[in-house]
Amino acid sequence: MEGQICVVTGYGQGHLNPCMELCKHISSMHYHTTLLFPSIFASAIPSSFTQPPRTQTVQLTSSGRPMPGSDPLCQQSAQELKTHLLNCFENPDLPMPLCAIVDFQMGWTKALFLKFNIPVISLFTFGACAAAMEWGAWKLQAANIKSGEIRVIPGLPEEMALTYSDLKRKSPETPRGGKGGPPKPGDRPPWVPEIEGSIAIMFNTCDDLDGPFIKYMADQMGLPAWGVGPLLPEQYWNSSEPLLRDGEIRKQKRQSSSTEEDVIQWLDSKPRRSVLYVAFGSEVRPTTEEYSQLAGALEQSTRLFIWVIQPGSEAHIPHGLDDRVSNRGLIIYGWAPQLLILGHKSTGGFLSHCGWNSTMEAIGRGIPFLAWPIRGDQYLNAKLVVSHLKVGYRVTDDLSEMVKKDDMVKGIERLMGNEEMQKRAEMLSGKFKHGFPASSVCALEAFNDLLAKINSSTIK
């Protein structure tokens, strides 16, 4: 054991799960790891995760996802973090923190670590492409791009040039109790002040997906930049059988209208690469009108499908739809075993919001996309998938307008009927067949080397 690494996660499963996986990778390098997390996610951490003395957790009090700078319990959280750090300094049995890896969403913790002279590495739980495109758009003052104009970002692939349509987005719904929304495309990225003072940056990605964008960020930030992912469950890499049981990996009680066995039995009865999987994750969803349009599109299409209906959206589903599509559609209300579905040989397409974790899970299983981004980095993830990796299509050309049934029907047929697209997706997934990416192993070794240098200079 060579000291303690603190990992601070932000809000949501899309932040917590990658941070837990990162802790596992770091623990395998013979470090102690401490995961600091908002207390509202205590029930989401499986008991198997904590394995003293290698891994421990510290809860930071929070009543919910805060707006920047407005968490009413932030002072209490800061005191809890300060207490943990003081314990490390005062208790000879506790290993000293060598560094802190901080999800930029929790950038407020950085000042406390630096006060204790603990170096900070900033963590992006999404891909380097989104960060690079946000930075490039800001530096190019892309908010004033005109219709028909194409603006190449120097240092990035030409196919990722910004267009007027890239900037057109729906007005975001404000979070509950919050004000405003994310910055507009071309504005200063919100993470810029949050990573200032860091000694390096990490991304939840790998060179095979994001190589040019990782390099761009290193050049632009003047810092080491590493892709240390995809930070997916270790079973995703270790299993020779792609059919993973989500329930065994993420042992949480979740309500669902279908068991994993129900899903397997249904998929087993369908031809190879014939099923469209439709899901929007846990935090975003189409509008009420778009839900209705999507229901109509799936009913009109002749394609087989699995559609996951998030809790609270049941009322948007037309009465009797389950019965009318029962011969070729499985509608799951509540939680769905996504890793299992994406890994099944019958799944051939993914109508997705392009959340980063879902995107990586599907790419690794060779599933092409019908991209329907809804907020934030999802638009840039979709551009990566469609324009750079070329393993998908957008659901519509103008994402600032309501997505209509006819666009969905055409998109579904275009995706599911394109064997070349499916072959490209399968070829890309081949880069994941040999386990956790070699480039990410090298990145973690580079991180280890940096810590060794810091440690040796501290001792001197």
CATH code (residue 35): 3.40.50.2000
Q: Is the pLDDT of residue 71 over 70?
A: no
192, 266: one domain: no
Please count the CA atoms within 13 angstroms of the CA of 323 that sit on its side-chain side.
3
pLDDT tens digits for range 277-316: 999 988 888 988 999 999 999 999 999 999 999 888 887 7
pLDDT tens digits for range 360-375: 999 999 999 999 999 8
225, 307: one domain: no
Kindly state the average pLDDT of the residues 188-208: 96
Residue 360: closest CA among 457, 229, 182: 229
Which residue type, as a one-letter code, is found at position 104? F
451, 427: one domain: no
197, 314: one domain: no
Q: Is the pLDDT of residue 233 over 50?
A: yes
Percent of the chain with pLDDT over 90: 60
Does 67 fall in a domain? yes
Does 133 fall in a domain? no
The pTM of the whole model exceeds 0.95: no
For residue 113 the two structure tokens come to 């670590």
Q: What's residue 315's pLDDT?
A: 76
Kindly state the average pLDDT of the residues 237-252: 68
11, 53: one domain: yes
Does 324 fall in a domain? yes
348, 210: one domain: no
98 backbone dihedrals φ, ψ, rounded to 5°: -80, -35
Q: Is the pLDDT of residue 70 over 50?
A: no
228, 354: one domain: no
- Please calculate the CA angle 12-16-21 and round it to the nearest 5 degrees: 155
Does 149 fall in a domain? no
Q: Is the pLDDT of residue 24 over 60?
A: yes
Q: Is the pLDDT of residue 179 over 60?
A: no
- Number of domains into which the chain is organized: 2
> In whole angstroms, how large is the CA radius of gyration of the chain?
22
Q: Structural domain of residue 51, as residue ranges?
A: 4-128+180-232+435-459
- Which residues lie closer than 8 Å to 416 by C-beta, 6 or more apart? 274, 276, 303, 348, 349
Q: Which residues of 397-425 are buried (b: 16+ CB within 10 A; e: fewer)?
A: eebeeebbbebbbbbbeebbeeeebbebb
> Exposed/middle/buried for 26, CB within 10 Å: 0-12, 13-18, 19+?
buried
The 3 state secondary structure assigned to the chain is CCCEEEEECCCCHHHHHHHHHHHHHHHCCCCEEEEEEEHHHHHHCCHHHCCCCCEEEEEECCCCCCCCCCCCCHHHHHHHHHHHHHHHHHCCCCCCEEEEEEEHHHHHHHHHHHHCCCCEEEEECCCHHHHHHHHHHHHCCHHHCCCCCEECCCCCCHHHCEEHHHHCCCCCCCCCCCCCCCCCCCCCCCCHHHHCCCCEEEECCCHHHHHHHHHHHHHHHCCCEEECCCCCCHHHHHCCCCCCCHHHHCCCCCCECCCHHHHHHHHHCCCCCCEEEEECCCCCCCCHHHHHHHHHHHHHCCCEEEEEECCCCHHHCCCCHHHHCCCCEEEEEECCCHHHHHHCCCEEEEEECCCHHHHHHHHCCCCCEEECCCCCCHHHHHHHHHHHCCCEEECCCCCCCCCCHHHHHHHHHHHHCCHHHHHHHHHHHHHHCCCCCHHHHHHHHHHHHHHHHHHHHHHC
Percent of the chain with pLDDT over 70: 90
56, 82: one domain: yes
260, 357: one domain: yes
- Please calculate the CA angle 103-109-111 and round it to the nearest 5 degrees: 125
Q: What's residue 68's pLDDT?
A: 45
Does 410 fall in a domain? yes
Does 147 fall in a domain? no
- Which residues lie closer than 8 Å to 45 by C-beta, 6 or more apart? 16, 20, 35, 37, 57
Does 172 fall in a domain? no
Q: What's residue 362's pLDDT?
A: 97
Which residue type, as a one-letter code, is found at position 236? Y
216, 276: one domain: no
Q: What's residue 325's pLDDT?
A: 87
209, 346: one domain: no
Kindly state the average pLDDT of the residues 96-118: 91
pLDDT tens digits for range 122-170: 999 999 999 999 999 999 988 888 888 999 999 999 999 999 888 888 7
80, 197: one domain: yes
Q: What's residue 240's pLDDT?
A: 62
Q: What's residue 183's pLDDT?
A: 65
Does 60 fall in a domain? yes
Residue 104: closest CA among 9, 217, 184: 9
Q: Is the pLDDT of residue 72 over 50?
A: no
